[in-house]
């Protein structure tokens, strides 16, 4: 049903074409439009009231729109781009796509705009239900999101990755998990460990520690997850910045285009450099694929190609991004299968 703020109905002729309608027609059209748009009556009810067929009511309503007797306005907050959002959702077969305005021209573009986190926080407020298990991966975007949370139903919150610097947990997802649990009033299951370890043996030993193992046990119970995306370049990927120059060159030679939760992807969304995962404290890709709702938060022109690669991976279902990234994505290949199919490009 439409509200009076969204629909303006007038019996005045506002254009040359409207003059072709006589005064009785104008008054009747305005009355029918008011019944339909403002009062929520059906075409059958209107037809019975005016003693005409419902087909005539449909024609009158159509004419009222054509001749500017009725103006319909669809209003969303100024920072949201509804048209790009819907186009992006359809192009990649996503469940949700929310596009926000990029910084104004002349402003320096941040690799992780805080407004994305704010919008993602509102989206989580919609998606999370009481009793859900919410998973948070490390990333500046997810940290911004957690800081902006002001409502969540009672739910369990679990950390999906280690942190960038285990010695400064306040900069990692430990604090994000605590914040989300505080807002929801639910349990928190943080991971007190770095994301990247020197070798697979050290990583395996940490995974078996009681607290970390307990968090890992929740991975299969996660119903909604929030993740960040990084491009394979300095300052845009946490994992890239944690590696040595030699390691970066090695993975670059494999065609890395994107990184998400320490998983690497080429431009087609295929996973590459899987050996890196053996050294990382992170949710496995197969487990991510089984989570019903995975929301990726990333924006900016520098991340646009990386976002496209991750969307083609079949690991995410929804995206919060900005107009700069959306404009690139809307001209990029969407992938062979919709994101909601959760198909692995390697299969």
pLDDT value, residue 65: 86
**CA 50 to CA 239: how far, in whole Å?**
69
Cβ atoms of residues 298 and 305 within 8 Å: no
**CA 122 to CA 120: how far, in whole Å?**
5
pLDDT value, residue 286: 94
Q: Which residues pair with 134 in a beta bridge?
A: 157, 224
The candidate with the shortest Cα–Cα distance to 263, out of 290, 281, 236, is 281
Using DSSP, state whether 152 is helix, strand or coil.
coil
pLDDT value, residue 129: 95
Cβ atoms of residues 151 and 120 within 8 Å: no
Place of tokens 């139903």: 153
Domains defined for the chain, CATH in brackets: 23-67 (1.10.10), 80-331 (3.40.50.1360)
pLDDT value, residue 67: 82
**CA 303 to CA 325: how far, in whole Å?**
7
| Token code pair at residue 229 | 């995306």
Cβ atoms of residues 176 and 146 within 8 Å: yes
Indicate the burial class of 254 (C-beta count within 10 angstroms; 0-12, 13-18, 19 or more): exposed
| Token code pair at residue 271 | 């996973």
The candidate with the shortest Cα–Cα distance to 103, out of 330, 331, 302, 343, is 302
The candidate with the shortest Cα–Cα distance to 211, out of 252, 166, 244, 256, is 166
Mean pLDDT by 10 residues, the chain (347 residues): 46 44 78 89 93 92 85 69 91 94 62 80 93 93 90 96 62 83 95 91 93 94 96 83 90 94 95 93 95 96 94 96 94 89 88
pLDDT value, residue 75: 65
Q: Which residues pair with 136 in a beta bridge?
A: 159, 226
Residues with Cβ within 8 Å of residue 215, at least 6 apart in sequence: 158, 159, 189, 190, 191
pTM of the shown model: 0.78
């Amino acid at each position: 049903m439409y509200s009076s703020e969204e629909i303006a109905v007038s019996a005045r002729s506002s254009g040359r074409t409207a003059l072709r309608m006589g005064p009785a027609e104008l008054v009747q059209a305005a009355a029918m439009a008011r019944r339909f748009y403002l009062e929520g009556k059906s075409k059958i009810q209107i037809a019975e009231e005016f003693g005409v067929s419902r087909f005539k009511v449909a024609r009158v309503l159509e004419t009222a729109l054509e001749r500017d007797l009725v103006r319909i306005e669809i209003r969303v907050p100024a920072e949201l781009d509804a048209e790009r959002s819907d186009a992006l959702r359809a192009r990649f077969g996503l469940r949700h796509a929310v596009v926000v305005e990029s910084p104004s021209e002349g402003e320096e573009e941040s690799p992780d705009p805080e407004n994305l986190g704010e919008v993602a926080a509102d989206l989580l407020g919609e998606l999370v239900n009481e009793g859900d298990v919410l998973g948070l991966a490390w990333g500046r975007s997810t940290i911004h999101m957690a800081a902006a949370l002001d409502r969540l139903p009672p739910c369990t919150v679990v950390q999906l990755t280690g942190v960038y610097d285990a010695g400064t947990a306040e900069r990692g997802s430990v604090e994000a998990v605590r914040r989300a649990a505080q807002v929801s009033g639910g349990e928190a299951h943080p991971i007190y460990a770095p994301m990247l370890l020197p070798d697979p043996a050290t990583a395996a030993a940490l995974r078996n520690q009681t607290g970390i193992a307990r968090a890992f046990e929740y991975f299969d119970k996660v119903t909604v997850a929030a993740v960040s995306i990084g491009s394979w370049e300095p300052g845009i990927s946490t994992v890239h910045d944690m590696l040595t120059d030699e390691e970066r060159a090695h993975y670059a030679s494999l065609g890395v285009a994107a990184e998400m939760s320490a998983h690497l992807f080429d431009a087609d969304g295929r996973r590459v450099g899987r050996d890196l995962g053996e050294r990382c404290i992170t949710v496995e890709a197969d487990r991510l694929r089984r989570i019903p709702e995975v929301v990726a938060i990333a924006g900016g022109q520098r991340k646009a190609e990386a976002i496209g690669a991750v969307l083609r991976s079949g690991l995410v279902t929804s995206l919060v991004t900005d107009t700069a990234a959306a404009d690139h994505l809307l001209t990029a290949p969407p992938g062979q299968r919709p994101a909601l199919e959760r198909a692995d490009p390697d299969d």
